[in-house]
Amino acid sequence: MDPSITSPRLFVHAALGPGAGIVATPAQAHHLGTVLRRGPGDAVRLFNGADGEWSARIAALRRDRCELAVGARLRAQAPEPDLWLAFALLKRDATDLVAEKATELGVAALLPVITGRTQAARVNRERLEAIAIAAAEQSERLTVPLVAAPVTLAALLADWPAGRALVVAMERQGAPGVAPARGPAGLLIGPEGGFSAAELDLMGRHAFVVAASLGDRILRAETAAIVGLALMQAPAGV
Amino acid sequence: MDPSITSPRLFVHAALGPGAGIVATPAQAHHLGTVLRRGPGDAVRLFNGADGEWSARIAALRRDRCELAVGARLRAQAPEPDLWLAFALLKRDATDLVAEKATELGVAALLPVITGRTQAARVNRERLEAIAIAAAEQSERLTVPLVAAPVTLAALLADWPAGRALVVAMERQGAPGVAPARGPAGLLIGPEGGFSAAELDLMGRHAFVVAASLGDRILRAETAAIVGLALMQAPAGV
C-alpha cells in the first residue's frame, strides 16, 4: 500500500496552510497517542472541508493535548457528489450505521426526518456529527457531511430546494429501479413500516419527487439507504 | 400494509405441507411468546428453503416449546439470485453485518476467506448461520444462504466452479465499475489492508476473475460488500 495513505487523517476546523500550527481536539489527541500509539515527529494528514488535504507532523503530544505542524498540501479541494440523504429516524444503532455508511458513500448532507411511522422523534446531532467525522477521516473524503436537525416529512417537502430531485425508495409500488443521479439529488428512505397513504399522497403532489424501487426484496431501512446511495452513484453506462 | 406480511416468519428444517405439525426451536418459541407476545391461534408464516412459504397457526406455546399447525401455501418456491459473496474475514461486528446485509440482498452462499492481511482466521459458523436465518426471516426471502467454512484465498480460487464469474473489488487499480451479473457469479471483498501483490498476481492467473472498482472512495470492507452486491444486482439497463 502507498505509505502516504497509511498516516492517520484528522478533520480540523482551523484554516490549513504551510507552516500553520494546529491544536488537535482532546479526543483526537487521545486517539493518536493512546489508541494509535503515535508520538512527536509522526506523520498525520489534515483536512477541513475547504483547503484540501495537508501533511502534518505531531509537534507535541501529551495525554489529551496535541499540537500539529502543517507541512505540504497533498491534495487540492475538489468537488464531491451533490447528493443528500434524508431518512426517517431509526433506532440508535441503525441511525448510527446510516450516518457512517452514507458518509463513506460521499453524501453532502444527512437529513433526519420524522414521519407518521417513525419510531423516534429525536436524534443526538453531536453524536451523528462525530460519527460522520470519523467516517470522513477514514474514507479519504475531503469534506464532512452536514447533519441537519430533524424535520417532519411535510417540512422537508415544503422546504426542498428547487432543481434538486428527491428519489423516494418505495416497496411494492411498481416503481422503476433507482437510476444514477444526474445533477443535484437526494434520496429519501422511509421508516420500517413504510409511508402512510397520506404521506404517499403528499409526496405525489411534488414534481421533484421520483418514486423508485430498490428491487423485489424487503430491505431494512439502513440497508435500503446504503443500496440506494450505491445505485444513485453507479457509473453511467453500467 | 398488507396484513399477510405482518405475521412473523420462521425458517424451519422440516418438510412443509398442508396439515403438517411443526415443532419450533426453543429460540423461536421464546421469540414468539416472550418477545413478540404471540399465543395460541396467532398466525405465523413458515419457509424451509424448498417448499415455498406457508401460513401456520400457533397450536400450543409454553415457554420454549411451541407447536405450529401448517395451513395453506402462500407462495411457491421460486428461483433466487445465483450470487455468492466471498469475503476476507473481518472483525466480529463487521462480519456479522456482512452476513446480515448479504442475506437481505439475496446471496445464496457466504464464503469466508483467509488472506495474507486478514485479521482473523476463525469464524463462528453457527453464529453466522443464526444471523443469516434471522435476516432471511425478516427479508421475505424463501431460502437461507449457505455459510461455508473459511478457506484460504488459494483454496477458494483452486476450487472455484467452472462457469461462475468472480468479481473482485479492487481499489486504486483503474478497474472498470462493477457491472450487473449475468449468470452465476460471486463477489470477492478483500481485507481492510487490501490484497498483497502476490495475491493480486495469483488472482490475475485465473480467467474467471474479473477485477472491478466500487468507485473512487475508500470504503470499509463491509460497506464494499453491500455496495458491490447492490451493483451486481442492479436492473440491467439502469
- B122 inside domain: yes
A179 CB within 8 Å of a chain B CB = yes
d(CA A65, CA A29): 6
- A94 inside domain: yes
Q: What is the pTM of this model?
A: 0.91
Q: Report pLDDT digits (tens) over A181-213.
A: 989 999 999 998 899 999 999 999 999 999 999
In this structure, are B20 and B106 located in the same domain?
no
Give the residue from A75, A95, A116 where a domain finishes: A75
State residue B124's pLDDT score: 93
In this structure, are B87 and B184 located in the same domain?
yes
Q: Which residue of A has its CA nearest to B197?
A: A1
| Residue B161 lies in domain | 83-232
Contacts of B193 in chain A (CB under 8 A): 1
Phi and psi torsions of B77, nearest 5°: -60, 140
- A104 inside domain: yes
- A128 inside domain: yes
A124 CB within 8 Å of a chain B CB = no
Cβ-proximal residues to A154 (8 Å cutoff; 6+ apart), any chain:
A202
Q: Which residue of B has its CA nearest to A178?
A: B238
In this structure, are B202 and B221 located in the same domain?
yes
Sole residue written with cell 420462521: B10
d(CA B52, CA B50): 6
Kindly report the nearest CA distance between residue A26 and chain B, in angstroms. 25
Q: Is the dihedral of CA B22, B23, B24, B29 positive or negative?
A: positive
In this structure, are B89 and B15 located in the same domain?
no
In this structure, are A110 and A213 located in the same domain?
yes
CATH code where residue B32 lies: 2.40.240.20
Q: Report pLDDT digits (tens) over B176-220.
A: 999 899 899 999 999 988 999 999 999 999 999 999 999 878 899
Task: Select the residue of B141, B178, B223 nearest A226 (Cβ to Cβ).
Answer: B223
Reported as a pLDDT band with limits 50, 70 and 90, residue A236 is: low
Supply the ipTM of this predicted assembly: 0.88
Kindly report the nearest CA distance between residue B235 and chain A, in angstroms. 7
State residue A5's pLDDT score: 56
Task: Select the residue of B104, B172, B231 nearest A219 (Cβ to Cβ).
Answer: B104
Q: Considering chain A, what percentage of its residues have pLDDT values greater than 90?
A: 83
- B237 inside domain: no
- Which is nearest to B150 in space by CA: B189, B110, B181, B117? B110
B53, B229, B231: best to mutate for the A interface, most A CBs within 10 A: B231
Is B233 in Cβ contact with A238 (below 8 Å)? no
B78 CB within 8 Å of a chain A CB = no
Q: Which amino acid is at B229?
A: L
Report CA A45 to chain centroid distance, whole Å: 20
- A198 inside domain: yes
Please give the interface size between A and B, counted as residue pairs whose CB atoms are below 8 Å apart.
Answer: 87
In this structure, are B23 and B122 located in the same domain?
no
Kindly report the nearest CA distance between residue A58 and chain B, in angstroms. 24
Mean pLDDT of chain A: 92
Q: Structural domain tally of chain A?
A: 2
In this structure, are A103 and A62 located in the same domain?
no
Give the residue from B49, B75, B101 where a domain finishes: B75
Is B230 in Cβ contact with A177 (below 8 Å)? no
Give the residue from A25, A45, A75 where a domain finishes: A75
Helix then strand count (H, E) for chain B reads 6, 12
Q: Report pLDDT digits (tens) over A109-154.
A: 999 999 999 978 889 999 999 999 999 999 989 999 999 999 999 9
Under-50 pLDDT residues of chain B: 1-3, 237-238
Is A223 in Cβ contact with B227 (below 8 Å)? no
A45 CB within 8 Å of a chain B CB = no
d(CA B69, CA B57): 5
Q: Which three cell numbers stand for residue B2?
A: 398488507
Q: Which residue of A has its CA nearest to B139?
A: A218
- B99 inside domain: yes
- B192 inside domain: yes
In this structure, are B102 and B165 located in the same domain?
yes
Range A148-166 average pLDDT: 96
CATH code where residue B184 lies: 3.40.1280.10
In this structure, are A67 and A92 located in the same domain?
no
B227 CB within 8 Å of a chain A CB = yes
In this structure, are A97 and A67 located in the same domain?
no
Q: Report pLDDT digits (tens) over A49-62.
A: 999 999 999 999 99
Q: Which amino acid is at A87?
A: F
In this structure, are A100 and A194 located in the same domain?
yes
Q: Considering chain A, what percentage of its residues have pLDDT values greater than 70?
A: 96
In this structure, are B33 and B101 located in the same domain?
no
Q: Which three cell numbers stand for residue B35?
A: 418477545
Contacts of A194 in chain B (CB under 8 A): 1
Range A91-98 average pLDDT: 94
